[in-house]
Amino acid sequence: MANPAWYNDNQFRDYPFLTRVEPLIDTPGFGLSSSALDELHLPHSAILDFGAVMEIDAGYDESLGHYVYLHSVSRAASLFTFKLRTNAEEAANHELIFHRNLDDPEFLIEWEEASTITPEVIDPLTCPARPKWHGFMATGSMRDLADLVASGETVIAVPGEWKIEPARIQSLLKSYLRAINLANHQRVLATPQDGCSLSLSDTDRPVKVNALCLDGNLQFKEGFNCYIRQDNNNNAIIIGAGVGVGAGLPCEEVPIYPGEEPVPGSPFLSGGPSCNDIIKSINGVSGSDVNLAAGPGFKFSVDELNPNKLIMSRLLDDFAVCQDENIDSSLSSADAGPPAACDVLTEVNTFRVNILTGMLTELSAICSYNAGMSIGGARIWTSPFAVKRDWVDGAYCSIRWRAKISCEEDGLRVSITGYPLVHNTPCRVCSALLAYPLAPPLNTTIVLSTTENGAGCECITGTLAEAVSLVQLPDPTP
């Protein structure tokens, strides 16, 4: 407690205010909300001492012009109420309230914590609310003030007129750390989620909060590839990264929050395939999509024991001269038509088939005369095999397909045939008959009909080809 002589002296001077010049009602200073007095003099004996501590979240900074001031004095019978406020924005909605009775003794000291003036919206990510500031007030006799303020009156001061001495205010701004929140941005994923771009900034990635308002005796521990350094000169803790520092290199991915799960379709938290799941190039050919096509006499199949193994085998069915029930009928001579039916196409060696609609839309095939399949005067044109690969229901659907043109009894048959990757039996055939007579050079559009899916084509949800254009190509000039 201060020396009583100190308080006695303060009864005759402006302290703890910067000034106590008597203000008039119609000039800046005190104004009476319910009184018709021409002027008011706040007695020096009313407030003898004052001091306040502004907490770190009050944002109080004297260099920015912040101050504390007496806001109002009110009286209800023998009870006086003093309210002090600040112009610091973060604490402007918080005030100190002191009460004095007319008969209270001199030199009474009271400590109070600031309370809110109007209700505030609470941020769920902030720590529990604490008083923005607190302070004390020492008072003398209320008798002189009672002669000036009647019961039921409230005197409100103009902000800034009755400032407290700056030396009586202690600001804790940036003086200590009250609590720590822990959070992580979502990790960068190898395969972005739907609706995300390939490159995400920190503000685009959602934040996962792990802990709120950690306080007390906190410790920092170096994790994997992490180092911590204390910078005394700048009053800072430096957290940096380095290969193998701290806890060393992790043996596996480290979850950034409890319960983090791998990305669907990947064994990793960050998504994507493992190193053994990636083929970077084949015989020097690289790219995001490399197609393997088996030419005449070869086929691709998947090893039944090792699904990651692709087998390329020789297959002489394309060169068969005898029909066998185990060989694809589309590769035999069973559909050979009468020689006379193809007389107008005797000199035609090449057709181009453009797929206009269907799963293979915008693809095309060059069908060349196949002497090995053209038996007994029939003429057959076939294209090399090609592979179509689509993403269907979370998995790749891959089929081989080829175009074929053959002479039949009633006309020219145009077909698009699909085959599984693992065997050479057709699993989907789309075809149509171009009736005789034919008028070369052929250039026409044909609508195809289709068969039901066979074994190996279950993933095909649409029609391979619904409409094609058949174009007869001129023979190259000798």
Bigger pLDDT: 206 or 225?
Answer: 225
Residue 143's pLDDT is what? Answer: 92
By the 10 Å C-beta count (0-12 exposed, 13-18 middle, 19+ buried), 38 is classed as: exposed
Residue 89's pLDDT is what? Answer: 93
pLDDT mean over 387-414? 83
Q: Give the dihedral sign, CA 170/173/177/181.
A: positive
* Non-local CB neighbours of 5 within 8 Å, separated by 6+ positions: none
Across 58-62, 256-260, 423-427, which has the greatest mean pLDDT?
Answer: 58-62
Residue 469's pLDDT is what? Answer: 92
- Whole-number mean pLDDT of the chain? 81
By the 10 Å C-beta count (0-12 exposed, 13-18 middle, 19+ buried), 326 is classed as: exposed
Residue 192's pLDDT is what? Answer: 59
0.85 exceeded by pTM: no
| pLDDT higher than 70, residue 329 | no
| pLDDT higher than 60, residue 75 | yes
Residue 200's pLDDT is what? Answer: 53
| Strand order across the 47-54 sheet | 108-113, 133-139, 47-54, 169-171
Give the confidence band of 321 by pLDDT, cuts at 50, 70, 90: very low
Lowest model confidence (mean pLDDT) among 20-29, 175-184, 209-218, 443-452:
20-29
Percent of the chain with pLDDT over 90: 34
Q: Residue 441: is the preceding peptide bond cis (ω within 30°)? A: yes
Residue 196's pLDDT is what? Answer: 56
Residue 275's pLDDT is what? Answer: 74
Across 191-195, 402-406, 456-460, which has the greatest mean pLDDT?
Answer: 402-406
pLDDT mean over 239-261? 89
Residue 244's pLDDT is what? Answer: 92
Percent of the chain with pLDDT over 70: 84
Count of alpha carbons within 13 Å of 340, Cβ hemisphere only? 2
Three-class HEC string of the chain: CCCHHHHHHHCCCCCCECCCCCCECCCCCEEECCCCCCECCCCCCCEEEEEEEECHHHCCCHHHCCCEEEEEEEEECCEEEEEEEECCHHHCCEEEEEEEECCCCCCEEEEEECEECCCCCCCCCCCCCCCCEEEEEEECCCHHHHCCCCCCCEEEECCCCCEECHHHEEECCCCCCCCEEEEEECCCCCCCCCCCCCCCCCCCCCEEEEEEEECCCCCCCCCEEEEEEEECCCCEEEEEEEEEEECCCCCCCCCCCCCCCCCCCCCCCCCCCCHHHCCCEECCEECCCCCCCCCCCEEEEECCCCCCCEEEEECHHHHCCCCCCCCCHHHCCCCCCCHHHHHHHCCCCEEEEEEEECCCCCCEEEEEECCCCCCCCCCEEECCCEEEEEEECCEEEEEEEEEEEEECCCEEEEEEEEECCCCCCCCEEEEEEEECCCCCCCEEEEECEECCCCCCCCCCCCCCCCEEEEEECCCCCC
Lowest model confidence (mean pLDDT) among 150-154, 199-203, 330-334, 398-402:
330-334
Residue 1's pLDDT is what? Answer: 56
Residue 41's pLDDT is what? Answer: 67
Q: Measure the CA–CA gap between 202 and 186, rounded to whole angstroms.
A: 9
Bigger pLDDT: 193 or 208?
Answer: 208
| pLDDT higher than 60, residue 150 | yes
Residue 241's pLDDT is what? Answer: 93
| pLDDT higher than 70, residue 376 | no
| pLDDT higher than 80, residue 232 | yes
Residue 351's pLDDT is what? Answer: 92
Give the confidence band of 2 by pLDDT, cuts at 50, 70, 90: low
Task: Give the model confidence (pLDDT) of 448-467 as tens digits.
Answer: 988 877 777 777 777 888 89
Residue 15's pLDDT is what? Answer: 92
| pLDDT higher than 70, residue 25 | no
Q: Locate the domains of the chain by residue range.
A: 4-171, 179-194+204-215+224-273, 335-472
